Amino acid sequence: MCAGQSLVAESISREIPRFSFRSPPQRARETEPEPADPTAHLAWDAKLKTLILSMRDVTEPIKLTLSPQADALRQAVSADYEVMMGEGGRLAGMRDWASKAVGTMARIAGLLHLAEHLTDGFDRPISFETVARAQALIDYYTDHALAVFDQATARAHAVWA
């Protein structure tokens, strides 16, 4: 590897932990999900536009809070990820990515919360149910990140072999 390639590789490795991954279906039994109903897309577009327009005049950072139950779930997920990142754990080989997963889950929960409560989301705590939905998404992304990292590692070993 030359110096230029090394710098590119280092730059990419610093940014990879910030991405959520979805690997393409690998087996015949895995299929792509059905596309959402077009009316659902239109409803989502309207919600998103309303959310964006409601925030256009906001100049200060907005602080969202978690309900006590939602925060307990966040802490439990964080503890689970710490165990999985431990030596020999499921996520030990991708600690940089996994260490950001719970923060990503919290940001997803915030977005889901604001999308659900367009007019008063800033004034109410994020619910346990919303954090649970965000957890389901981050679990999905974690499974796919594992597949992507495994594929990338296998390819890298094949190139260097």
Split the chain (161 residues) into runs of 10 and give each run's mean pLDDT: 43 52 54 76 85 82 94 98 94 88 95 88 94 95 84 58 52
Alpha-carbon gap, residue 22 to 138, rounded angstroms = 11
Strand partners, 66: 126
Bridge partners, residue 126, by sequence: 66
Q: What is the pLDDT of residue 105?
A: 96
Amino acid present at 121:
G
Q: What per-residue confidence (pLDDT) applies to 10?
A: 46
Of 98, 106, 100, 93, nearest to 133 (Cα)?
Answer: 106
DSSP readout, the chain? --HHHHHHHHHHHHHGGG----PPP-STT--PPPPPPHHHHHHHHHHHHHHHHHHTT--SPP---B-HHHHHHHHHHHHHHHHHHSTTSTTGGGHHHHTTHHHHHHHHHHHHHHHH-TTTGGGSPBPHHHHHHHHHHHHHHHHHHHHHHHHHHHHHHHHH-
Q: Is 145 exposed, middle or buried (0-12, 13-18, 19+ CB in 10 A)?
A: buried
Residue 56 tokens, joined: 């256009």
- What pLDDT score does 121 carry? 87
Nearest to 91, CA basis, from 147, 24, 13, 137: 147
The model carries a pTM of 0.71
